[in-house]
């Protein structure tokens, strides 16, 4: 696979989705509705009509951003043009993130117009999906990076080559 082409394609897709969102313009009432009692106060509407065009594009942009981050990490894990077993871990963490992000957006969309949202541990359901599940799932990438750093990113061979460069260039010796 040509990783730079994949990464460029993801960047172009993200830019295209962002351009579409900006091009849609604001729906009616996006900046608030006149309050019948106070002239300087604007009321918000329930939001379903305001968000119906944007939510799918927001989901797509979020998934593209997560895919870009996972692809960057996977690109760094390549050895001799192959990912090996670590590629499955990167894919699994990416899928878990997409599931949690999707669940948060679905919960948000279903809560629009609901005067009493479902609470999970004191947070509205959509926020709880993000705080309690989506954000911690990102530690999957961090843990993978830390556990595999000395085998994939800075090997003993890399250290020896770096020390040789320092000696050859008159550096301070051991790194």
Report which DSSP code applies to 153.
I
CB of 64 closer than 8 Å to CB of 85: no
Q: What is the predicted pLDDT for the residue at 103?
A: 94
* Residue range of the domain that includes 54: 3-137
Residue at 96 is within a domain: yes
Report which DSSP code applies to 2.
-
Which residue matches tokens 């989506």? 134
pLDDT in tens, 133-155: 999 898 888 888 888 877 777 77
Q: What is the predicted pLDDT for the residue at 112?
A: 78
Mean of the pLDDT values across residues 76-92? 79
Q: What is the predicted pLDDT for the residue at 171?
A: 62
Residue at 97 is within a domain: yes
Residue at 127 is within a domain: yes
For residue 33, what are its two tokens? 């509705």
For residue 109, what are its two tokens? 């969309």
Residue at 11 is within a domain: yes
For helices 3-24 and 54-77, the axis angle rounded to 10 degrees is 160
Q: Which H or E element spans position 161? A: helix 156-169
Q: What is the predicted pLDDT for the residue at 157?
A: 83
Residue at 130 is within a domain: yes
Comparison of pLDDT for 161 and 149, the residue scoring more: 161
Our CA angle for 115, 107, 95, nearest 5°, is 170
Q: Where are the beta strands (DSSP E) in 54-154?
A: 119-120, 123-124
Q: What is the predicted pLDDT for the residue at 104?
A: 92
First to last CA, the chain: 35
For helices 139-148 and 54-77, the axis angle rounded to 10 degrees is 0
Q: What is the predicted pLDDT for the residue at 97?
A: 94
Q: What is the predicted pLDDT for the residue at 46?
A: 65
Residue 37 has pLDDT above 60, yes or no: yes
Residue at 169 is within a domain: no
Q: What is the predicted pLDDT for the residue at 52?
A: 78
Q: Where are the beta strands (DSSP E) in the chain?
A: 33-34, 42-43, 119-120, 123-124
What global pTM score does this model have?
0.76
For residue 65, what are its two tokens? 């951003």
Residue at 172 is within a domain: no
Q: Which of 128, 106, 125 is nearest to 116 (CA)?
A: 125
Quote the number of domains for the chain.
1
Residue at 163 is within a domain: no
pLDDT in tens, 114-126: 767 778 888 888 8
């Amino acid at each position: 696979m040509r990783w730079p082409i994949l990464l460029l394609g993801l960047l172009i897709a993200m830019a295209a989705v962002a351009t579409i969102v900006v091009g849609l313009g604001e729906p009616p009432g996006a900046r608030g509705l006149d309050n019948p009692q106070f002239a300087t106060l604007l009321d918000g509407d329930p939001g379903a009509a305001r968000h119906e065009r944007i939510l799918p594009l927001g989901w797509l942009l979020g998934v593209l951003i997560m895919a870009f981050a996972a692809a960057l990490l996977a690109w760094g894990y390549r050895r001799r043009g192959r990912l090996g077993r670590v590629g499955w871990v990167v894919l699994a963490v990416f899928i878990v993130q997409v599931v949690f992000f999707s669940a948060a957006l679905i919960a948000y969309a279903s809560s629009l117009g609901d005067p009493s949202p479902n609470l999970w541990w004191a947070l509205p359901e959509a926020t709880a999906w993000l705080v309690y599940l989506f954000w911690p799932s990102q530690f999957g990438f961090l843990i993978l990076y830390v556990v595999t750093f000395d085998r994939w990113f800075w090997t003993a061979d890399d250290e020896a080559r770096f020390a040789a460069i320092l000696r050859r260039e008159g550096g301070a010796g051991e790194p």
